Structure 1
Amino acid sequence: MSRSIVRQSKFRHVFGQTVKAEQGYDDIRVSKVTWDSSFCAINPKFLAVIVESSGGGAFLVLPISKTGRVDKNYPLVIGHSGPVLDIDWCPHDDNILASCSEDCTAMVWQIPDHSLTRPISDPVVVLEGHSKRVGIVTWHPTARNILLTAGSDNLVIIWNVGTGEALISMDDHPDLIYSISWNRNGSLFCTTCKDRRLRVCDPRKREVVAERLAPHEGIRPMRAIFTRDGNIFTTGFTRMSQRELGLWDPTNFEEPIALLELDTSNGVLLPYYDADANMVYLCGKGDSSIRYFEITEEPPYVHYLNTFSSKEPQRGMGFMPKRGVDVTKCEIARLFKLLDKKCEPITMTVPRKSDLFQDDLYPDTAGPEPAMEAEEWLDGRDEDPILVSMRGGYMPPKSRELKVAKKNVLESRPTTRRSMSTLDTNSLPVVGGDSESEGHK
């Protein structure tokens, strides 16, 4: 036993702390929809929360600095005709947010830098292609303007929001899709599905390249996320309804790298992943605790670090991108916990005495510049995120407008001498599959 019993890790003593009451956000009517989404999306500029609203779907967007009580007349982002189910900030533009809804559409919004003075009701682009409610929306990590949506029609559609067109549509899932996660460079994504399969999909080949039946034996919903090194971290339930987490190598799905039983609670565990520290924060819906783990290359591979507990159960959770944390306080993560009527930021800190910048806690992190254009990705190029230094903290850039250039359907056809009247209209390409007919049913 020459090796020390205690594993060396700079994250062993990470501790969580709820901010002071006045630094939270009060009087927010969090959505009562039973969908298993996090209801909350954060970036260094804004907090967005899906809220209760009469007639349609709405969400609240506040500047991060606007803490305290939220005026009950504070303008909302409205535009969906059914409840909003999921929202996601664009990783390459802090003023752009995507939302999806029971109204079968996804929408992309431009949020101004200041506090809203009136409701926003005009999205930059409306994406119509699903025939049932759209429950998942997630941006590509490295390519500009690429957005993925998944609906209850079991379709996955990948869009170029700069042109408003559907690029790729995949129908490999026979049942409801529970979760989708891109890998680090956006060449693959993994999904969990009600048919109890974990799949790895290559969207540009439009095929499932690996799958595993029942990584967790229970029938309750699973979640899966890609880690930095290409493994897949899953949460689910055992046959006896114990909550469980797993770590898998998608090139060899036979045996898990690690499988760990947790407890008998029944809330789905939502995993939030920090690629820089290789840590996962697990937040169960209805739990009042956040557990965090470090993923390493030596056994047991998934190391339990600690649990942060507070009194009230969470309705949802948001996770700040690394560039939004406070490096002067050795904060390595900030989670935003939704309660029935408010949102509480929770800071995760590594205790250090020095005031100097801690290089080892803050490797260069994914910055806001996309590594490539949508067309380059579609043509088969892969790029890792463009990294930025955290030294000196991060200042979000000013708002840039998202320009949408709708393609003219006719322009993409070779010009012929025939007049339009003699053209067989059935031969015209339909933009994005059946989007024209589906969107207006």
Structure 2
Amino acid sequence: MPPSSQPCHGVWQIPDYVPVRNMTEPVVTLEGHSKRVGILTWHPTARNVLLSAGGDNLVILWNVGTGEMLLRLDEVHTDLIYNACWNRNGSLLVTTCKDKHVRVIDPRKQQVVAEKSKPHQGARPVRAIFMADGKIFTTGFSRMSERQLALWDLKSFEEPIALQEMDTSNGVLLPFYDPDSSIVYLCGKGDSSIRYFEITDEPPYVHYLSTYSSKEPQRGMGFMPKRGLDVSKCEIARFFKLHERKCEPIAMTVPRKSDLFQDDLYPDTPGPEPALEADEWLSGKDAEPVLISLRDGYVPAKNRELKVVRKNVLDSRPPRSGETEPSSFPGLWARAPGPPGASRASPGALPAARGPWRDTAVACDGLRGVGCRMGP
């Protein structure tokens, strides 16, 4: 769970048990933004890859498992980033910006592969998300401040394949997408209703289904992953509605008389296990999400604690004058042989260092350094 209130943001692990004391230290702290971070989203298929975007107009990709910055997109956006969303396999990224552009980005090549200026003519913020088939769904405002939704095909990004006007409310529409049922839920900030639409491959492409209404307006909205739903009650979506002093769960269910598992409502859905490691994805490899069945309900695996492994700074330290790297001990630097009579290091030991390294002690396991204590 990465909080996003400061340029320096931390990743926190919520345990399966009830902790006996307050959690005050994050698992890892990520430093790279110069202004407040407002967007955080996990990669859909690669392990521990996290995207962050802030008020400094930067998009940064992190390897949370090592605490490293993988990629930095600093020349793509010219203004404040409104939202960012991965496609299904995490090969592309769609963003909306205050400069009224929707950009489809290949983050590994650090280039924009498709771009649309003013997808909605209004001046209010635009949101964009990827569909499972690669289409893009956007919400925005018209010139007359009417709220709109649109569906776009990247093969012909000039005009939308579907465009609908909804109402004249001022609240920005926040889209939530369920790829298993092809349903988009629209939650307007400050609204007291949730509208949902089905996305199909045939005209008119976007079909209105129904509206959930309540008495109190929502200040924010969260969306439960599919594996957290109650399949015995035919629950297809669950929202967490933020009020002033509470968080209210809202369940969307399909009425069925049978108590049996409904295969049409619950196809295999993406599970928590990654399909790729961070290094594999960064090298250019793509993979579809690893799917799981919800027939017997989702049971989380044990020992899923995040372990951060930081690289040893000694592994990448360049040799100093008069030093060579021992071939049998990569990462440990030894002094080159001195004049006749000078003492030499025995195998498996590091010669005594001078200067700023004088208080360095390294324990060896026969292959490389396994621990060190740095002095001044």
Give the TM-score normalised by structure 2.
0.84
Question: Is residue 187 of structure 2 the alignment partner of residue 283 of structure 1?
Answer: yes
Q: Secondary structure at the match of 2:148?
A: strand
Moved more, 398-407 or 348-357: 398-407
Question: Is residue 83 of structure 2 the alignment partner of residue 179 of structure 1?
Answer: yes
CA offsets, 1:287-315, max 9 Å, x none? 00000000000111011100000000001
Equivalents in 1 of 2:263, 2:36: separation in Å?
A: 45
CA offsets, 1:177-211, max 9 Å, x none? 00000000000110000000000010100111110
Residue of structure 1 in register with 2:13 after alignment: 110
Percent of residue pairs identical: 70
Q: 2:66 aligns with which of 163, 178, 181?
A: 163
Equivalents in 2 of 1:402, 1:232: separation in Å?
A: 32
Q: 1:219 aligns with which of 91, 102, 123?
A: 123
Equivalents in 2 of 1:269, 1:113: separation in Å?
A: 33
CA shift for structure 1 position 134: 0.8
CA shift for structure 1 position 113: 1.4
Aligned residue identity for 2:13: Q
Question: Is residue 42 of structure 2 the alignment partner of residue 153 of structure 1?
Answer: no
Equivalents in 2 of 1:173, 1:413: separation in Å?
A: 35
Residue of structure 1 in register with 2:206 after alignment: 302
Unaligned runs of 5+ in 2: 324-332, 334-352, 354-376
Contact 1:315 1:337 in 2 (8 A): yes
CA shift for structure 1 position 160: 0.5
Equivalents in 2 of 1:236, 1:270: separation in Å?
A: 10
Residue of structure 2 in register with 1:122 after alignment: 25
Question: Is residue 146 of structure 2 the alignment partner of residue 242 of structure 1?
Answer: yes
Choose 1 or 2 for highest CA Rg: 2
Equivalents in 1 of 2:54, 2:156: separation in Å?
A: 29
CA shift for structure 1 position 416: 6.7
CA shift for structure 1 position 413: 5.4
Q: Secondary structure at the match of 1:306?
A: strand
Contact 1:177 1:191 in 2 (8 A): yes
Q: Secondary structure at the match of 2:151?
A: strand
Matches within 5 A, 1:13-24: none
Contact 1:210 1:251 in 2 (8 A): no
Give the TM-score normalised by structure 1.
0.71
Q: Secondary structure at the match of 2:281?
A: helix
Residue of structure 1 in register with 2:292 after alignment: 388
Moved more, 399-408 or 128-137: 399-408
Residue of structure 1 in register with 2:273 after alignment: 369
Moved more, 366-375 or 394-403: 394-403
Unaligned runs of 5+ in 1: 1-96, 422-441
Equivalents in 1 of 2:305, 2:68: separation in Å?
A: 19
Aligned residues: 325
Equivalents in 1 of 2:241, 2:271: separation in Å?
A: 24
Aligned residue identity for 1:182: W
CA shift for structure 1 position 353: 1.1
Question: Is residue 307 of structure 2 the alignment partner of residue 403 of structure 1?
Answer: yes
Q: 2:244 aligns with which of 328, 337, 340?
A: 340
